[in-house]
Chain A
Amino acid sequence: MVPEQAIVKAVNEINIDVKAGENFAFVGESGSGKTTLGYMLARIFEPTSGNLWLDGKEITYARGRELRELRQKVQMVFQDPGSSLNPRQTIESILSLPFKIYTSLTKAEMKKSIARLLESVNLPVELMPRYPGALSGGEKQRISLARALALNPKLLVMDEPTSALDVSVQAKILHLLVDLKRQFGLTYIFITHDMSVVKNISDRIAVTYLGRIIELGMTRDVFERPLHPYTKALLSAIPVVKDEEKRILPKEIILQGEIPSPENVPEICPFFSRCQERQKICEESSCPDFEEVEKGHLVRCYQYKTQIN
């Protein structure tokens, strides 16, 4: 993740723990680092520094057999259903791959397992000989999900799993995700910019900006009492549909300026350039540490600093 002349600290000192059975969301906009973070959590990228633990076991630099075992436990679902399925493979072929690599099932047993997978995502068995091109966006995303569930993972990392879908389809996929979580005892890490989705299906959220988490807390707390100026701006920007929703939003904030480039981000608070509540200390000091303002609700912002040295 390091281009020639600039250092892009896509993810800058993230400290987080995700509890079993939780639906945890990383929310943020372009350049926030949330997708890179997701790729690292799924061990598709290796971190430049730092540590990752899964179930108490360190997996940061897992290689070889350890990594293969890890792949069975952590799976990823990607944003674009169109490009995450090989268009030249049948559905059966796509879904048989995890079994081929990790198990020694016979062809007949594999077919049975695939049928069961399709059923769990509410798709007909008749789709097995078809190609992804014949499927709708929603169906393709269900196949991606089925593929991720093939080896009974514990953790699913999902990068904007419904953003590319029409709303009527999105709702069905979200409901499916909730059902599957319950059915298989999964833990979810959701990566998204869609706050309305997050409000409805996530337990805890981390708001990210230019590689850092700037606010962390239970979903309800963050929505009802947003602390960080960026969180407030993000909430106020949600294009709501109903009048009742408008009344829940914080007062309107229109941010001036662009989201800065993630190249060569200074070590001060990343939101400084666009913050409408900024103070002198914000420019002069390094990025503030987390402050727990209420139980389980943390923020990195100098206006909440109880002790300034």
Chain B
Amino acid sequence: MKENIIVKIEDLVVHFKTIDGVLKVLQGVNLVVHEGEVVGIVGETGCGKTITAKILLGILHIPPAIIKNGKVIFLSQDLLKTNQTDREALKQKIGYIPQDPTASLNPVFSIGTLMVDMILWKRSGQHLGDYLWKRRETSQKKMAETYAAELLDKVHIAAPKSILNKYPVELSGGMRQRVLLAMALIGSPSLLVADEPTTALDVTIQKSLLHLLQEKVKEERLSGLYITHNLGVARAICHRTYVMYAGSVVENGVTSEMLDQPLHPYTKGLVNSIPKLTGEQFQGIDGQVPDYLNPPPGCRFHPRCDRRMEICSREFPEMTQVKENRSVVCWLYH
């Protein structure tokens, strides 16, 4: 089952046109999501992980973004080369869980209204005329309401019917995030894209939400792309993870293995920065993330790297496949 590839991003290069110049953000991102697995993208602020996800979701504003190169293949179709109609049809199979539950739920509508709206929109294949007609049909709305309650039940929200009548402000952060998960499951998607869904949540609530996510991934036979800056969360929920720095993937592998034995100096630096329960020494990484206007030549991490060699400042490293599903982009391993 793991051989089926759900997502394949190949050599993605994305620039942004700004008043100050061209930001050369994504430098050649390569990643794969197999069926049934949850793949993580970890990185610090500005590394390009959210942009990568947005391209997959088709919500990146182009312009100012310019896709200079690459393929974004979902269910064997390159989204960048598909026409609008087919792309919309494909997008139906992706569920998106955004980051901030407070900002993502319209506060002036009840949960029921929000969910029914989304259900009807998806059911009408995002065809405006069809959608407007369905909204006026009581029977359609009733069916949608029943479906909404079923979805809320799936995410273990107690008394789902009463929640449909509540407004987002009446729910806690954890509950709002569960509602967002329920909405992402509308239409039985094949892929869930989650953008830091637990960042704004308390740690015990985060734990129960991650547990719920794992349960749903298994039950609904989903694949997942999980974006986070928290390595511990990646370890908890992602089978495999890609580490991004300044617009490209520097390392990837089975999450637990990669975190226990990181290869790339940046990954090592990241792991070392985190205070551990074992109390061992932790330290940050010197320097700052590069400016995308004038990124350093060669490997973008080389100015901060304590293992850098002469070639690192000249040429961008090639990827080295260490073993199956484990690779690193660094001259040290070439």
Residues of A within 8 A of B (CB): 29-30, 136-137, 166-172, 174-175, 193, 195-197, 199-201, 223, 233-234, 236-245, 248-249, 254-256, 258-259
Contacts and interface: CB of A to CB of B under 8 A. Distances in A.
Interface string B256-285: 100110000000011111111111001111
A233 B277 CA distance: 15
Contacts of B273: 167-168, 170-171
Given A167-B229, A243-B260, A259-B202, A196 B208 contact: no
Contacts of A245: 276-278
Contacts of A242: 259-260, 271, 276, 278
A255 B277 contact: no
A29 B202 contact: yes
A255 B44 CA distance: 29
A17 to B, nearest CB: 26
B291 to A, nearest CB: 12
Given A167-B229, A168-B285, A241-B235, A196 B202 contact: no
Contact of A258 (B175, B272, B278, B288): B175
A50 B272 CA distance: 43
A199 B275 CA distance: 8
Contacts of A29: 202-205
A165 to B, nearest CB: 9
A167 B208 contact: no
B259 A259 contact: no
B13 interface: no
B99 to A, nearest CB: 14
Contacts of B44: 166-168
A193 B203 contact: yes
Contacts of B285: 168
A13 B203 CA distance: 25
A54 B274 CA distance: 34
Nearest to A198: B275
Contacts of A171: 272-275, 282-284
Contacts of B231: 167, 239, 241
Contacts of A166: 44-45, 229
Nearest to A139: B288
B211 A254 contact: yes
A238 B210 CA distance: 12
Nearest to A219: B279
A249 B235 contact: no
Contacts of A196: 274-277
Contact of B172 (A243, A254, A258): A258
A175 B259 CA distance: 23
B45 A237 contact: no
- Assign chain B's interface to a size class: 35 or more
B164 interface: no
B210 to A, nearest CB: 8
Interface in B84-106: none
30 contacts: A29-B205, A137-B45, A167-B273, A170-B273, A170-B284, A171-B273, A171-B282, A172-B283, A172-B284, A175-B283, A196-B276, A200-B275, A200-B279, A234-B203, A238-B277, A239-B207, A239-B230, A239-B235, A241-B259, A242-B259, A242-B260, A242-B276, A243-B260, A248-B278, A254-B208, A255-B204, A255-B207, A259-B174, A259-B202, A259-B204
Contacts of A254: 207-208, 211
A233 B204 contact: yes
A145 B44 CA distance: 23
A207 to B, nearest CB: 12
Contacts of A174: 275, 282
Nearest to B257: A243
Nearest to B283: A171
A197 B275 contact: yes
Given A167-B284, A171-B274, 5 more contacts: A167-B270, A240-B277, A241-B231, A258-B175, A259-B205
Nearest to A255: B204
A196 B235 CA distance: 15
A143 B232 CA distance: 29
Contacts of B269: 168
A137 B256 CA distance: 29
Given A168-B284, A171-B284, A255-B204, A240 B275 contact: no
A72 B204 CA distance: 37
Given A30-B202, A171-B282, A237-B206, A259 B277 contact: no
B284 A237 contact: no
Given A167-B270, A167-B274, A171-B275, A200 B208 contact: no
A30 B173 CA distance: 10
